Chains A and B, each alone.
Chain A
Amino acid sequence: MEIKFDKLYPLNVDRARAWQVMRDVRAVASCMPGAEITQEISPTSYQGTVKAKVGPALAQFAGIVDVIGLDDANFTVSYRGKGSDKGGSSAAMELKAVLMVAADNPAHSVLKGEATVTVNGKFAQFGARIMVPVAEMIVGQFVDNFAAAAAALPDVSAGKTAPNQAATDPDQAASAAKEPNKPNKPKELNGLSLVWQLIKHWIAGLFGTRR
């Protein structure tokens, strides 16, 4: 099954710092729940793994992520990933991310993410009914981790320190960027751990504004 994303995610961090994280595949991967870069094949190609559990389907995808476009001038990056798991699930993703300055606050930025994810095999068969909400949750967690990682970097543009206890020490900032927000990061995309979040969102949706 194919899931398409085209969404704007406001970030409480300026564009320059966000871009520093965004252009680094390892940093991006470390913001992704359950994902890990295991080997650098070339500066634009990496091997990695993603552990995920959707409903009854558990998968450990192993595959390759390629950076297919990196445009510093336009704050745009494109990744292509493809992986499969021993149990017969496979997934492919094309992601284009653009960082924009928030219209209402120049100190904030907006992440515009466009992604096409194709999931195949057991994962699609058994996870289909909750795939979209789970994917949305995962992306939500990613964006939170991403913003935290960016905020942990020293704010060079404004010359003031980030509101983070580690930010005054450049070494600590660098390590925070490598392992951003680690204690809160789920080890894998665990469907069960997402259930409560899903229910919360569903209830919020019931009472929230509708189109």
Chain B
Amino acid sequence: MDTHDSSLAERKAGLAGMGDSRLRKEDARFIQGKGNYVDDIKMPGMVHMDIVRSPVAHARIKKIHKEAALKIPGVLAVLTADDLKPFKLHWMPTLAGDVAAVLADEKVHFQMQEVAVVIATDRYAAADGVEAVQVDYEELPVVIDPFDALKPNAPVLREDLAGKTSGAHGAREHHNHIFTWNAGDKEAADAAFAKAEIKVRENILYPRVHPCPLETCGCVASFDKIKGELTTYMTSQAPHVVRTVVSLLSGIAESKIRIVSPDIGGGFGNKVGVYPGYVCAIAASIVLGIPVKWVEDRIENISSTAFARDYHMDGELAATKDGKITGLRVNVVADHGAFDACADPTKYPAGMFHICSGSYDIPAAFCSVKGVYTNKAPGGVAYRCSFRVTEAVYIIERLVDILAQKLGMDKAEIRAKNFIKKEQFPYHSPFGFEYDSGDYHTALNKVMAAMDYKALRAEQAAKRADPNSPSLMGIGLVSFTEVVGAGPSKMCDILGVGMFDSCEIRIHPTGSAIARMGTITQGQGHQTTYAQIIATELGIPSEVIQVEEGDTSTAPYGLGTYGSRSTPVAGAAIALAARKIHAKAKKIAAHMLEVNEGDLDWEVDRFKVKGQDSKFKTMKDIAWQAYHQPPAGIEPGLEAVHYYDPPNFTYPFGIYMCVVDIDRGTGETKIRRFYALDDCGTRINPMIIEGQIHGGLTEGYAVAMGQQMPFDAQGNLLGNTLMDYFLPTAVETPHWETDHTVTPSPHHPIGAKGVAESPHVGSIPTFTSAVVDAFAHKGVTHFNMPHSSYRVWKELKKHGLAL
């Protein structure tokens, strides 16, 4: 027990609660190779599954020859769509209200689509079986460009939708059209443009990229025929939702389905959806009654699981001559691939793209997003961002830069002029969002001072004046606002389930605790940070608080981890569950100290009688009492469950500045400095925040400088290995400088807003802003990502700047 004379500060430090940079609890097992990932799971009698995939992007399947594969020793079964048909499992619902083929039914719609699966006694036999399955294809014309897809005579991609003039998101105007979704006020925006003094417009492509987590997707499905129970270990960012989907698809009661997400090696949105591999492994296990393992390889992961972005954006700003923005219009053609499998809240087929008015007070705005089918893999997930926020931030930040260029204004000046002011919060955006809190001016000033912005501009001017300078210098600046923490169930649901999240805390008799959550960590460090929230709320050292997630049989129902929702939603659930316990503990303490509850004060880890430091009961004392001899009228035990339905989203923001030096001979772009100031409200673990920011910046660097998924005219994906797909290592990764301000969220129980995705969302336009800025003196306003050396060199050539 603590002694009376322990100083307050020491007691506080001993808890390692909120604000403490305690080391990650997860790392002890990871750095020793003791993690437990899906591929580490081995069950008795387990067999293996591999997938036959289409080599072509669009074709009719004439025949599938299984015979040769079935002769291979070890091959147990080859399943095709026809085998799944009796179970109605050959198609499955997507998160976006469409259907997707589990195994290609008569037609393939994209290269690497799943056509058949081979089940075998070992992984090698399964792979041999896949090689031996022969499929006769009748090739069909391929549509890769979403604009071509909308032409009147474009090939019909989805024959299964023939005659359907409306989809999950309203009318379909063409056989390859999915939806058109509008937000904002078109009339007001058009009026603003009609009387605008200055207008700028740019076509901006946010290319198709892939989250490419280190661990690919996979599962081990095990159906117990005797008990009628299905257990599936799965790489899922949302295990509870998967359980609901599996129950709906299979008819097995949810109570007999157990989905476990063990350790997960990165998700970044890629592990939100349900993929054919999972469904086939589960179906195979149900049929065979033995465990079936499926783990995809890297090429399969990049080629067939959910991509991100692929937004063709046409953006416009209207402004006054002195640089006050008066209107915004954005039209998007969104390439969704062969099936609409975007992972967005049901009502928002373009996610939160309507955050595209950014950090600026724009009186009139309108956006329209048109979803289109093409012969590419389905997806459209939030790659380390809240739903489509990355695209939104990219378009507004590019447009503001372009407007500044047109007006001859400085990038920083035009931002400061148009920022939503501190006193305007809560701010109602023209798209209907209520921004909770922010202080953009303070953050901008801090970054400009830290980087000595004036000196940088002077240096750049000198370089531009020198024709012999070996490099071009560019300065990028971005001020982003994110909308995360989806979300209020009145607005957000996934397949009808509101996007709340949950926490169950039990305090054990001797004062340690366990918390079970509806979220699932994939590297975010939940086991570390969640414990810190409880430590501060309840005065129990975080060291003795276990955090468990990912097992649907033990954890309370939650919507999972993506879209920076863990801290804003589950973090709040923790605090409120802890506060329920706190309230009960206070009653018990009052009884133990023989005073009224009103006579007690809470201090770090104990209730004490007002004004009497020596009369107190710690949470540990109270826990023992709760199990040993609870006061009359009070239930024994000390635990609570809370389901938190957030009243609003949270709006983290940041100011990022980047200085690049571009080699005029090679086009190589060196990141000289990158300064990231983030405001994520209350900071739970500064070390983890910094790690999250480093990771997000590195992934942002990857997207901006190299990641792309190029398709040729026949629909061949020409970059689906790590030889071609850029994944930066320590060698390429620049040095990051981080900073912060703290503007707590007023509606969140602990004021936290979420941070993991801000650096990704914010850094990508910063890199483009910097690279394009290097060419600004030549009148260049924009060029598309990725800014690889070759592409930058071509720009240098084009403008006579190459050496």
Contacts and interface: CB of A to CB of B under 8 A. Distances in A.
Interface in B115-150: 131, 134-135, 137, 139
B713 A2 contact: yes
A90 B56 CA distance: 9
A186 interface: no
A125 B720 contact: yes
B502 interface: no
A1 B131 contact: no
A125 B716 contact: yes
Interface in B190-215: none
Counting contact residues on chain A (CB < 8 A from B), the size range is 10 to 19
Contacts of B93: none
Given A88-B54, A88-B55, A128 B716 contact: yes
Contact of A87 (B55, B303, B718, B720): B55
A20 to B, nearest CB: 37
B134 A128 contact: no
A119 B721 CA distance: 18
B712 A124 contact: yes
Contact of A122 (B55, B137, B721, B724): B55
Main secondary structure of the interface of A (DSSP, over half): mixed
Contacts of A124: 712, 714, 716, 718
Interface in B585-632: none
Given A125-B111, A125-B720, A129-B723, A120 B135 contact: no
Contacts of B718: 1, 124-125, 128-129
B134 A1 contact: no
Contacts of B303: 125
B513 interface: no
A119 B139 CA distance: 13
Of B56, B131, B134, B723, the most chain A CB neighbours within 10 A belong to B56
Main secondary structure of the interface of B (DSSP, over half): loop
A202 interface: no
Interface in A102-134: 118-122, 124-126, 128-129
B54 A120 contact: no
Given A1-B712, A1-B716, A87-B131, A121 B723 contact: no
A126 B55 CA distance: 11
Interface residues of B, number: 20
Interface in B701-729: 712-714, 716-718, 720-721, 723-724
A120 B131 CA distance: 18
A150 B131 CA distance: 41
A89 interface: yes
B721 A126 contact: yes
Contacts of A129: 718, 723-724
B724 A1 contact: no
A125 B717 contact: yes
Contacts of B712: 1-2, 124, 128
A210 interface: no
A86 interface: yes
B143 to A, nearest CB: 15
Nearest to B717: A125
Contacts of B131: 87
Contacts of A86: 134
Contacts of A2: 712-714
A118 B111 contact: no
B108 to A, nearest CB: 11
Contacts of A121: 55-56, 111, 716
Contacts of A118: 714
A88 B713 contact: no
A38 B55 CA distance: 26
A142 to B, nearest CB: 24
Given A124-B718, A125-B718, A88 B135 contact: yes
A130 B716 CA distance: 15
Nearest to A89: B55
A2 B717 CA distance: 13
Of A2, A89, A118, A126, the most chain B CB neighbours within 10 A belong to A126
A153 B131 CA distance: 45
Nearest to B713: A2
A191 to B, nearest CB: 14
Contacts of B716: 1, 119-121, 124-125, 128
Contacts of A90: 55-56, 139
Contacts of A125: 55, 111, 303, 716-718, 720
Nearest to A131: B718
Interface in B413-457: none
A90 B139 CA distance: 10
Interface string B299-327: 00001000000000000000000000000
Interface string A79-99: 000000011111000000000
Nearest to A124: B716
B210 to A, nearest CB: 15
Contacts of B54: 88
Contacts of A128: 712, 716, 718
A87 B718 CA distance: 18
Nearest to A118: B714
B318 to A, nearest CB: 43
Contacts of A1: 712-714, 716, 718
A120 B723 contact: no
A89 B111 CA distance: 12
Contacts of B55: 87-90, 120-122, 125
A126 B56 CA distance: 13
Nearest to B131: A87
A89 B717 CA distance: 13
Interface in A57-91: 86-90
Nearest to A86: B134
Given A1-B712, A86-B134, A87-B131, A120 B717 contact: no
15 contacts: A1-B718, A2-B714, A86-B134, A88-B55, A121-B55, A121-B111, A124-B714, A125-B111, A125-B716, A125-B717, A125-B718, A128-B716, A128-B718, A129-B718, A129-B723
Interface of A: 1-2, 86-90, 118-122, 124-126, 128-129
Interface of B: 54-56, 111, 131, 134-135, 137, 139, 303, 712-714, 716-718, 720-721, 723-724
Pick the 8 closest A-B CB pairs, nearest first.
A88-B55, A121-B55, A124-B716, A1-B712, A128-B718, A120-B714, A122-B55, A125-B716
Given A1-B713, A2-B712, A120-B139, 15 more contacts: A1-B716, A87-B55, A87-B131, A88-B54, A88-B135, A90-B55, A118-B714, A120-B716, A121-B56, A125-B55, A125-B111, A125-B717, A125-B718, A126-B721, A128-B718
